[in-house]
Structure 1
Amino acid sequence: MAGVVLKDVVKRYGEVQVIHGIDLEIENGEFCVFVGPSGCGKSTLLRMVAGLEETTEGSMSIGDRDVTRMDPAERGVAMVFQTYALYPHMTVRDNMGFGLKMNGHPKVEIAQKVAEATRILKLEEYLDRKPAALSGGQRQRVSIGRAIVRGPEVFLFDEPLSNLDAELRVEMRVEIARLHKEIGATMVYVTHDQVEAMTLADKIVVLRKGRIEQVGAPLDLYRNPDNKFVAGFIGSPAMNFIDGTSTGDAVTLAGLDGTYALPIALPEKGTAVIFGIRPEHIEIDPSGNSFTVEMTEALGGVSYVHLLSDTGTKIIIEERGDERSKEGARVGVKIPLNRAMLFDAKTEKRLR
């Protein structure tokens, strides 16, 4: 097993630069997740680690080897793709062992490695089936098994669960987490789903437009984002953002009465700011009259209440318990200021 180090990595397609000077260190045995919106460069960066995309500038090492110009087969990585890419005419056993067979490994060794991967992924009863006789989750497990038998130093996952339905995604998240715990390999995982990122990662790398916005442990990013983008991307539903203005010692907020004195150093009077508060940290005030309940998403144990002020300010609040807000009701909100965050309206950087 080995760690991965990227130093000032750049990727260009002709005149267009899509990766801008990435510096990143992934520790040996760490589960690192690249997350960000579509087009942010996360899959391109993963493919650069795999050697499927050429690195324009900078260097890349796996363990103590500089792999910047190495072919994919020489890098000691195995990649699991969004599409399963299984051979339809082969059984599960043959699909998993095919790569080793093509590289001339002895039959006994192939059988042993396939058996071990099968045990880890609980695929014993499916070994003689062909892909058409498997569910989507089972096919993805076979795809992961094919990577395991190669014994790579680093596993690379490119949105492996995006083709699965919601129930299977949850099941496969658990499988991948268990797999990492059992084999202890370095894993780099790409997803646009921040819930996957939060539940799987030791380290999350938040990307936007080919640049790293922030790197950290899941709860560190949730509790202590550096900017509005990270604050809004990490957490589901997203953080509420309300336009505000500094009074010097407090802030006024669009759609809300009064002033709000946050326990931080505030910018000078008249400075535009953005006030952030997560849905799970706000409470409905039934005695208030600032907002109208637009709609309520009832999800069972939790509901999300969408509020709209007379001036157009929108807020989502998480509600628990048996009593739920009714559409059309007039309510207020209770905001615990120790949970709130403030961002500069121009730079979107966190004010601390």
Structure 2
Amino acid sequence: MTGVSLDNVVKKFGPIAVIHGIDLRIEDGEFCVFVGPSGCGKSTLLRMVAGLEKTTAGKIHIGARDVTDIDPAERGVAMVFQTYALYPHMTVAENMGFGLRMNGHPKDVIRSKVAEASRILKLDNYLDRKPKALSGGQRQRVAIGRAIVRGPEVFLFDEPLSNLDAELRVDMRIEIARLHKEIGATMIYVTHDQVEAMTLADKIVVLRAGRIEQVGTPMQLYADPDNRFVAGFIGSPSMNFLDGVVDGGKVRIPALGGGPVDTGVALPPDGHKVVVGLRPQHLAVAPGPSDIVLDIRERLGGVSYDYLDTPQGERLIVETRDDAVIDEGTPVVVTFDATQALFFDVDTERRLR
């Protein structure tokens, strides 16, 4: 197994910098996910590791080798793209073994490697089929199999599930997680879907505008975000953010009424504004005299999400797990678990600790 390191990596397209001096260590056998909104630089960063984009500055190491200026074919990586890119006239077995055949590997070696990849991916019954006879999930497994037979040091996935429907995405997430567990290879995976990041990753790298916002395990980022961006990006539904005012060394939240709450963090002086973050499961609603109105209830079976409008124009999402029915348009009283609240600086958006 082989780790990957990036040292002050920069990427510019002409005068425009899109990756700004990134330092990152990915350990041997680690499943690392790059996540962030569209345009944050995650795919560009992955393509730089692959050698498909030239590094403007900085160094990239795969294991002990400096691969910054090495041809993609010599880097020991295999990449799985969003599009399957299968040859329609070839069978599954021929598609998976094509790269080895082009490199002059013996037929018995190709058969052995294809058989092992098909076993891992449960494709044994499809080896003689052509891509048009496969489902989207099966085609993506063939594309992954084509990467496996190469025996790479590092697997790179560029939003491989984006073209699949919701049910297939769940199935393929499980397949990829199982694949990583079985072969133990270093994997770098790009997605804009934070649910994929949370369910697959050993380590998540949250990117914004070509910079790393935070690196950590899924639960570290969820429970202990460094800033408002990470807090809002990680978690589904996303965290609620409300205006707060420092009052007597505590924080008052005008939208929710009630007295100021203890924070346990260092606050700015009285009268200063802060941002209060509350996850949907840390809020509760009940009918009562209030200026807050239940706008929409989204029922998902075992859980429901209430969407509320406050007089200040803020939108709240509340997770509920009871059978109580509150009609849409009903005024509701909102209570919350103050011990679970997070607080952020208004200007820097950094977490107050």
Task: Note whether the superposition's TM-score is higher than 0.5.
Answer: yes
| 1: CA distance, partners of 2:289 / 2:11 | 53
**What SS is found at the alignment partner of 2:256?**
coil
Cα-to-partner distance string for 1:99-147 (whole Å, 9 max, x where unaligned) = 0000000000000000000000000111011101100000000000000
Contact kept? 2:290, 2:332, Cα under 8 Å = yes
- 2:337 counterpart residue number: 336
Output the amino acid matched with 2:42: K
Q: 1:41 and 1:265 mapped to 2: Cα distance?
A: 34
The corresponding residue for 2:61 is: 61
Moved over 4 A (4+): none
- C-alpha distance in structure 1 between counterparts of 2:325 and 2:305, whole Å: 9
Which residue is equivalent to 1:32? 32
Q: Any conservation in 2 of the 1:277–1:340 contact (CA below 8 Å)?
A: yes
1:347 to 2:348 alignment: yes
Q: 2:207 corresponds to which residue?
A: 207
Give the % identical residues.
68
Post-superposition CA distance 1:150-185 (Å, at most 9, x none): 000000000000000000000000000000000000
TM normalised by structure 1 equals 0.98
Tell me, in whole angstroms, the C-alpha distance in 1 between the residues paired with 2:250 and 2:137: 52
Structure-2 separation of matches of 1:147 and 1:85: 12
Measured in 2, the distance between the counterparts of 1:254 and 1:40 equals: 34
Distance 1:10 1:314 in 2: 38
- Equivalent-residue separation in structure 2 for 1:37 and 1:312 (angstroms): 25
Q: Within 1, Cα distance between the matches of 2:325 and 2:24? A: 45
Match runs of 1:69-148 below 5 Å: 69-148=69-148
- 1:252 and 1:140 map into 2 onto residues whose CA distance is 51
- Which amino acid counterpart does residue 95 of structure 1 have in structure 2? N
Query: Whole-Å Cα distance in 1 between the matches of residues 118 and 325 of structure 2?
Result: 47
SS at match of 1:37: coil
Q: Quote the Cα distance in structure 2 between the aligned partners of 1:324 and 1:235.
A: 25
5+ long unaligned stretches in structure 1: none
Distance 1:268 1:33 in 2: 39
Give the CA RMSD over aligned residues.
0.9
CA distance in 2, matches of 1:346, 1:71: 44
Query: Which structure 2 residues correspond to residues 1-352 of structure 1 after superposition, within 5 A?
Result: 1-258=1-258, 259-287=260-288, 289-352=290-353
Q: Secondary structure at the match of 1:351?
A: coil
1:263 is matched by which residue type in structure 2? G
Shift of 1:309: 1.7
Whether the aligned pair in 2 keeps the contact of 1:288 and 1:333 (CA below 8 Å) is no
Of the structure 1 ranges 308-317 and 43-52, higher mean CA displacement relative to structure 2 is found in: 308-317
- Judge which range, 134-143 or 261-270, deviates more: 261-270
Q: Residue 29 of structure 2 contacts residue 184 of structure 2 at CA under 8 Å; is this kept in 1? A: yes
Aligned length: 352
Counterpart Cα distance in 2 of 1:31 and 1:288: 50
Contact 1:255 1:312 in 2 (8 A): no
Q: CA deviation at 1:281?
A: 1.2
Task: Please list the CA deviations of residues 65-96 of structure 1 after superposition, one character each: whole Å capped at 9, or x if unmatched.
Answer: 00000000000000000000000110000000
State the Cα distance separating 1:9 from its structure 2 match. Answer: 0.1
What's the TM-score, normalizing by structure 2? Answer: 0.98
* Cα distance in 1 between the residues matched to 2:113 and 2:325: 54
Could you tell me whether the CA contact under 8 Å between 1:256 and 1:290 is conserved in 2? no
Distance in 2, matches of 1:325 and 1:236, equals 23
1:257 to partner: Cα distance: 1.5
Aligned AA (2:84)? Y
Provide the rounded CA distance (Å) in 2 between the counterparts of 1:20 and 1:90.
42
Alpha-carbon shift at residue 251 of structure 1 (Å)? 1.5
Deviation at 1:267, TM superposition (A): 1.2
Give the secondary structure class of the aligned counterpart of 1:260.
coil
C-alpha contact (below 8 Å) 1:59/1:66 kept by paired residues:
yes
Is the 1:304–1:317 Cα contact (8 Å) retained in structure 2? yes
Cα separation, 2, equivalents of 1:247 and 1:209: 35
Tell me how far 1:313 sits from its aligned partner: 2.3
Give the unaligned 5+ runs of structure 2.
none
8 Å CA contact 2:256, 2:335 repeated in 1: no
